[in-house]
Amino acid sequence: MTELPVVTCLDLPTTSPGGSVELFLDLYTGPQPPIPAQAFMLQATGATAAPPTGLGLGLLSVDGKCLDGPAFRAYIARLTQALKDAVEPGQVGVLHLQHLAFGATPALLRAFPGHPRIALVHGTDLLFAERHRDQLEVMRETVRFAHAIVTPTPAMADRLLRLVPRLDRRKLHHIPWGLPDHLLTTPPPRVRHRPGSTLRLLYAGRLTEEKGAHRLVHALAQARGVELSVAAPRNDYHALAALLQRSGLHARYLGWLRRPDLWRAFGDHDALLVPSTILEAMGLVALEAQACGLPVLYQPVPGLRDALGASALPTDFTNPVQLVRDLDRLRSSPGLSDTLSREGRANAARFPLTATADALATLGKNLG
């Protein structure tokens, strides 16, 4: 089997927040990417600069990204042409279709028909296919034409099968997402080894509805002896500010941190809170926290249950009484914090990025 060159595209700017972007950059970019590829993202609006040095990333100047109707189809057409202009068909071995929906996947299918195709389920594609008719149509097309469909957790495969029940299950492959190997081997040191009388709690991620930040605020407003830090995009945090003020809950805004800065911030807190309301593809930020020894409290939604299980503390962010009880357990039981830290590190160690890259490369060779 010969190694086939990968072409992939994520139709988001490089500065976009979210686990899909971080995983994409981890896998396909850098001086020695785990998966060598011609990888493309969108040029940020108003930006003209080249990609950061060493990323090995092409930026496409395609505007008009949207979700529905004729404008969506026109956007796909422009993105298709941009990819055709950027890549010679003879340079394409395997297509990695990021998401089962959105614009980049149909654009790659149209730009380079006839090549082996691996579709990667990220989670947001499932959510948007449930809410937008055109995105569901893209998903159905992708499922039909993909030679393999990769889900990071069994829960994502189950959710996909509910949306596309006639999917050929032989196409499904379970490959967990991975964490940078250097984070697993040399995580930053922890400053707070055990909780004190005041729990320093951290929320890290976007503040969209499905992430559950609003119900987190409502629940924490009834807790005592807690300090909340929030690492989120600035616009998201500003939208949450009014709720924080009404609730009387003081929050310390850390900004939208670069990942090395976020990893260091893990060490200065007692727990990461993950209150997602619907699903997570895998919950990379929770696994990164575990790799750094930070205990995780999470809502046991699909995806998170698969990735975290008993290595983290499940709770109910919709039930303030339950959440307060679990926070009190963490504060009053040093052994619980130590156990969660130890078992979390062991759990995160199961997901090195090199294993993800090797599994995807093997799958691609088998398709070829």
Q: How many domains does the chain have?
A: 2
Close Cβ partners of 256 (under 8 Å, ≥ 6 residues apart): 17, 231, 232, 233, 234
- Give the tens place of pLDDT for each residue, 16-48: 888 999 999 999 998 899 999 999 999 987 655
Per-residue confidence (pLDDT) for residue 194, from 0 to 100: 75
Partners of residue 231 on adjacent β-strands: 204
Are residues 78 and 219 both part of a single domain? no
Are residues 193 and 314 both part of a single domain? yes
Residue 258 counted as domain residue: yes
Residue 1 counted as domain residue: no
Residue 217 counted as domain residue: yes
* Burial class, 287, CB count within 10 angstroms (exposed 0-12 / middle 13-18 / buried 19+): buried
**CATH number for the domain including 229?**
3.40.50.2000
Residue 318 counted as domain residue: yes
Partners of residue 348 on adjacent β-strands: none
Are residues 96 and 244 both part of a single domain? no
What is the pTM for the complete model shown?
Answer: 0.94
Q: Determine the straight-line distance between the first and last CA of the chain, rounded to whole angstroms.
A: 8
- Give the tens place of pLDDT for each residue, 239-268: 998 999 999 998 999 999 999 999 999 999
Are residues 205 and 343 both part of a single domain? yes
Per-residue confidence (pLDDT) for residue 48, from 0 to 100: 55
Are residues 298 and 362 both part of a single domain? no
Residue 196 counted as domain residue: yes
Per-residue confidence (pLDDT) for residue 2, from 0 to 100: 44
Asked if residues 190 and 259 have their Cβ atoms less than 8 Å apart, the reply is no
Q: Which domain holds residue 340?
A: 187-348
Per-residue confidence (pLDDT) for residue 106, from 0 to 100: 98
Residue 259 counted as domain residue: yes
Are residues 11 and 135 both part of a single domain? yes
Per-residue confidence (pLDDT) for residue 191, from 0 to 100: 86
Q: Which helix (H) or strand (E) holds 262?
A: helix 259-266
The list of the chain residues with pLDDT below 70 reads 1-4, 46-54, 368
Are residues 307 and 269 both part of a single domain? yes
Are residues 358 and 291 both part of a single domain? no
Are residues 120 and 96 both part of a single domain? yes
Are residues 169 and 305 both part of a single domain? no
Are residues 104 and 240 both part of a single domain? no
Close Cβ partners of 15 (under 8 Å, ≥ 6 residues apart): 44
* CA within 13 Å, CB half, 275: 24
Are residues 156 and 249 both part of a single domain? no
Residue 282 counted as domain residue: yes
